[in-house]
């Protein structure tokens, strides 16, 4: 599954061209990668009987492709299937002087591609490693890895990162220099942040089982 490096500028296609609010679009692959690396749950869109279905699932990635846990959509994925994978981080509410200028500070990546069911055992194991390490770094070495039966029972999908659309909105409302600024209303951003909490042990744990360092050190850190 090796291939040439993907272009560092995202391709502009009919699906990814920024039609609206151009200032929010990015064509930098580095922005795409940063958005993907800041999260671990995506929304996977497929077409079932001509209708859209959007389901959350976990993902990981390498330089070329996403790996998705595909069990949620396995009944919809007979062969190679057109998919749209979207990852969104909500960073804050944009509170303007006018309701019309209200909005959201966010970062989103929308990947258009075809989901390939991973069948090669080596690629499947490597895809699951990437997926596991993406959400829970350190767990691939710590927990028991999948055996042959578990590997067979897991649906893993691969989607190329070639075609993607990135949007980022940051900063203050847009009506600070318009007539509404004269109203004297407060305006700004109410930030929203996600953070990891203190690990909650499984009640079934043997008393005294220590939280491993790779888990403990995430408590209190920001996510997203």
- Report the 10 Å Cβ neighbour count for 51: 7
CA atoms within 13 A on the CB side of 165: 18
* CB 194, min distance to a copy of itself, A: 5
- 8 vs 145 by CB, closer to a copy of itself: 145
- 4 vs 144 by CB, closer to a copy of itself: 144
Q: Alpha-carbon distance 83 to 55, whole Å?
A: 11
- 8 vs 15 by CB, closer to a copy of itself: 15
* CB 94, min distance to a copy of itself, A: 9
Q: Alpha-carbon distance 46 to 50, whole Å?
A: 9
* CB 28, min distance to a copy of itself, A: 19
- Report the 10 Å Cβ neighbour count for 153: 10
Contact in structure between 134 and 59 (CB atoms under 8 Å): yes
- 8 vs 219 by CB, closer to a copy of itself: 219
Kind plus residue range of the DSSP H or E element containing 206: none
* CB 37, min distance to a copy of itself, A: 16
The DSSP output letter for 54 is: E
* CB 14, min distance to a copy of itself, A: 9
- 5 vs 191 by CB, closer to a copy of itself: 191
* CB 153, min distance to a copy of itself, A: 8
- 64 vs 188 by CB, closer to a copy of itself: 188
Kind plus residue range of the DSSP H or E element containing 51: strand 51-61
Residue carrying the six token digits 């272009």: 7
Q: Alpha-carbon distance 165 to 79, whole Å?
A: 25
């Amino acid at each position: 599954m090796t291939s040439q490096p993907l272009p560092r500028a995202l391709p502009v296609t009919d699906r990814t061209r920024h039609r609206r609010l151009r200032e929010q679009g990015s064509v930098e692959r580095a922005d795409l990668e940063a958005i993907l690396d800041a999260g671990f749950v995506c929304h996977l869109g497929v077409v079932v009987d001509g209708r859209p279905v959007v389901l959350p699932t976990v993902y990981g990635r390498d330089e070329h492709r996403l790996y998705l846990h595909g069990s949620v959509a396995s009944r919809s994925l007979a062969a190679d299937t057109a998919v749209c994978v979207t990852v969104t981080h909500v960073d804050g509410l944009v509170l303007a002087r006018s309701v019309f200028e209200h909005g959201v500070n966010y970062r989103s990546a929308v990947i258009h591609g075809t989901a390939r069911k991973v069948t090669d055992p080596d690629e499947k194991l490597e895809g699951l490693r990437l997926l596991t390490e993406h959400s829970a770094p350190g767990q691939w070495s710590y927990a028991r890895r999948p055996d042959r039966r578990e590997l067979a029972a897991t649906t893993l999908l691969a989607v190329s990162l070639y075609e993607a659309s990135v949007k980022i909105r940051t900063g203050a409302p847009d009506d600070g220099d318009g007539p509404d600024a004269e109203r004297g209303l407060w305006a700004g951003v109410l930030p929203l942040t996600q953070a990891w909490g203190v690990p909650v042990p499984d009640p079934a744990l043997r008393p005294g089982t220590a939280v491993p360092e790779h888990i403990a050190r995430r408590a209190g850190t920001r996510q997203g």
